A and B are shown apart, each in its own frame.
Chain A
Amino acid sequence: MTADQPVVELRDAVAVLGSFPALAGATLRVSTGEIVLLRGPNGAGKTSLLRLCAGLLPLARGEGRVFGFDLATDAAAVRPRVGMLGHRNGLYGDLSVVENVKFWGATVAATTTEIHEAMKRLGVDGRLRTVPVSRLSAGQKRRTALACLVARRAELWLLDEPHAGLDAQGRDELDAVLQQAVASGATVIIASHELERAGSLAHRVVDVVAGQINGPTGDRS
């Protein structure tokens, strides 16, 4: 991938869920270091767009590249560089907070220092450290999931309603974490209904309507 190459480049991308076209010709370009907010009603295709970028949803038609890898033929190569937080947290309820963060950190050989730093940044160190995730509140689980994402050192963050379940302090911490991630070279795409909160964080807002991108897509061609 060259320096001026976009992190995400979709051109008339079509993705289907069963027989339903979740994305119906979406065009989007996201550059390194951008925070892009996806805005749109329920069922518009925001989550599908994130899943396509994560290599979880197959590209049925059109063109799609993430980090220069073709999503149609090389989606698996994209995944190690992507961190996705969807509606679910991807945590193991029987394991403690520290065990979860250590596990996800270990998938990228994160050091103990990086793991503890990630937990500290999201405020899940201290007394929460050894608590099983199943006993945490929804907000604490979200923070733990974000700590796992930080420990994984993802280059492209795909976040679906990341502020959901977080209290005011947690939202501030999340915003700080995202800004820090971007400052260190990561790219962030957020799907959110909390436009005021996420909008103030985002460099650019993109409307997703009926599986398509409305308005500026960031495509310079």
Chain B
Amino acid sequence: MSSLRIVGLIARKDLAIERRSKVAMHQVVPFAAITMVLFAFALDSSGGDSGSVIETVAVTDPPRVIRATDVLELVAPGLIWLAVLFSLLILVQRSFAVENDDGALDALRVAGVDPAAIFWGKAIALGLQLLALEIVLLAIALVLYRADLPPSGLGMLAITLITATGGLAFVGTLYGGLTAGFSGRESLLPLLVLPVVAPVLIGATRAVESAFGTDGVALSEGWPWIGLLTVFAVAFAVGGALAFGPLIDEST
């Protein structure tokens, strides 16, 4: 069977498992939404007075006044991606828990399934779930943080979501496979993944700031960050496919 068909088979299987178990729908989405609400509680320093001045930036001419309502809008892109990163960890744990619960990952290896196809299939399924989650979080940010999305930023936002999601899904799948066989994998996975995806957090945040026009950032300033996200995603797509087989062989 061709590797491409196996990729589709694995991705469809993971998505079917999610449709049945509804873990992402019933646990991960609410978790991410609660995280967004808690960010709002933590950063809304107005104490209910949304118009209160919390800082005056004197270096600008004229001096710029930052009000409590501005803070959330300013940091909204970063908060969205932080919530995505935390949710990624849960989705990756779940993705490999279904393989490990009854020894299916071992069975896949014995079946001679190309490890690169397993990697790609699982990453695609993970990426689609992440993409759906990100759309929900964006909607929450637009409502809760009063972030503004001009129509001119829609294209950049879409490209940012796709490239950043690709990078996160490939890294998550690679390290999920690496830690799958270890005891203590629940704490090991965040330790390994979070530092590695720091470039995605930075790049995606800056690109979404450009798409939103946050704090007057021009749309054109986002493209170099999208370039970074693309390079990151491609590097982990290729490197992950090559490394996945030896890694799961070592870890299980």
Contact present for B110 and A56 (CB under 8 Å): yes
A86 to B105, CA, bound (A): 12
Most buried by A among B13, B21, B108, B111: B111
Shortest distance from the beta carbon of A139 to any chain B beta carbon, whole Å: 15
A95 in contact with B20 given A88-B102, A90-B104 (CB within 8 Å): yes
Contact present for A94 and B113 (CB under 8 Å): no
With beta carbons under 8 angstroms apart, the residue of B1, B103, B111, B112 that contacts A86 is B103
With beta carbons under 8 angstroms apart, the residue of A56, A104, A106, A107 that contacts B106 is A56
Contact present for B109 and A92 (CB under 8 Å): no
Q: Mark B219-252, 1 if CB is under 8 A from A, else 0.
A: 0000000000000000000000000010000001
Contact present for B106 and A88 (CB under 8 Å): yes
Residue A116 interfacial (CB < 8 Å): no
Size of A's binding interface in residues, CB under 8 A:
30
Size of B's binding interface in residues, CB under 8 A:
24
With beta carbons under 8 angstroms apart, the residue of B9, B104, B109, B110 that contacts A106 is B9
A93 in contact with B112 given A106-B1, A106-B9 (CB within 8 Å): no
Shortest distance from the beta carbon of B4 to any chain A beta carbon, whole Å: 13
Residue A190 interfacial (CB < 8 Å): no
With beta carbons under 8 angstroms apart, the residue of B1, B6, B98 that contacts A92 is B98
Which A residues lie within 8 Å of B103 (CB)? 86-90
With beta carbons under 8 angstroms apart, the residue of A93, A95, A107 that contacts B111 is A107
Main secondary structure of the interface of A (DSSP, over half): loop
Sample of 20 A–B contacts (CB below 8 Å): A54-B110, A56-B106, A56-B252, A79-B109, A80-B111, A80-B112, A82-B112, A88-B102, A88-B103, A89-B102, A90-B104, A90-B107, A91-B104, A92-B13, A92-B98, A94-B21, A103-B13, A106-B5, A106-B9, A108-B1
Residues of B that sit less than 8 Å from A by CB? 1, 5-6, 9, 13, 16-17, 20-21, 98, 101-104, 106-113, 245, 252
Residues of A that sit less than 8 Å from B by CB? 54-56, 76, 79-84, 86-95, 99, 103-104, 106-109, 132, 148, 152
